[in-house]
Amino acid sequence: HFKPADLLNCESIEVRGRQQTWTPPVPAPEALYQFEFLSHGEVTAHIDGRRYHLTAPAAWMVPPGVFHGFTYQPESSGHVVSVPAEIMEHLISGIAGHGSGIRHVVVPRPSATLADLGALFANLADEFSARRPRRDEALRAHAALLSVWFARHLIDTEPSGLRTEQD
């Protein structure tokens, strides 16, 4: 995934899908948080033993140690962002005091805030590819914004502040 100089990794679903015939291999759980935004198309996601059929727009977050695999419909598009756990731990630990015990989050239904999330992914992708000065700081800030978006979604969708998945 990562080049040695990269703080995180950002790929387009289009590129990843074409390279892997739209079905990336199921990875062994790594010490990575994976954030995805599907802006066009469909995907069948297998996350932590559950199956989701998602139509764009949709988003999900998979924490480290959770088995996951995806089968995208050809020509689907969006972004995949992988962030090392050590970068995310202080951001995730503030979610309702649950620390790294957060399980996966799936946002399968269109909402007004998904448009905001799409813009966050697009801005992160632009920063990732641009190679501007102070890039690491900017990428860290973008990762923080992604974690805040998912934290707010958790807080807004369940009174206890923790929602692991939404059917």
Q: Each residue of 101-133: pLDDT tens digit?
A: 566 788 877 677 888 999 999 999 999 999 899
pLDDT confidence band for 2 (50 / 70 / 90):
very low
Contact between 106 and 47 (Cβ < 8 Å): yes
What does the pLDDT read at residue 19? 75
103: closest CA among 158, 152, 148, 48?
A: 48
The percent of residues above 90 in pLDDT, for the chain, comes to 38
**CA dist., res. 38 & res. 59, Å (int):** 6
- Taking all residues of the chain, what is their mean pLDDT, rounded to a whole number? 80
149-165 per-residue burial string, b: 16 or more CB within 10 A, e: under 16: bbbebbeeeeeeebbeb
pLDDT > 90? residue 78: yes
Residue 70 CA to its chain's centroid (Å): 13
Contact between 91 and 44 (Cβ < 8 Å): no
Q: Concatenated DSSP letters for 80-127?
A: EEEEEHHHHHHHHTTSTT-GGG---EEE-S--HHHHHHHHHHHHHHHH
pLDDT > 60? residue 164: no
pLDDT tens profile 3-44:
546 789 999 998 877 777 766 666 655 788 899 999 999 999
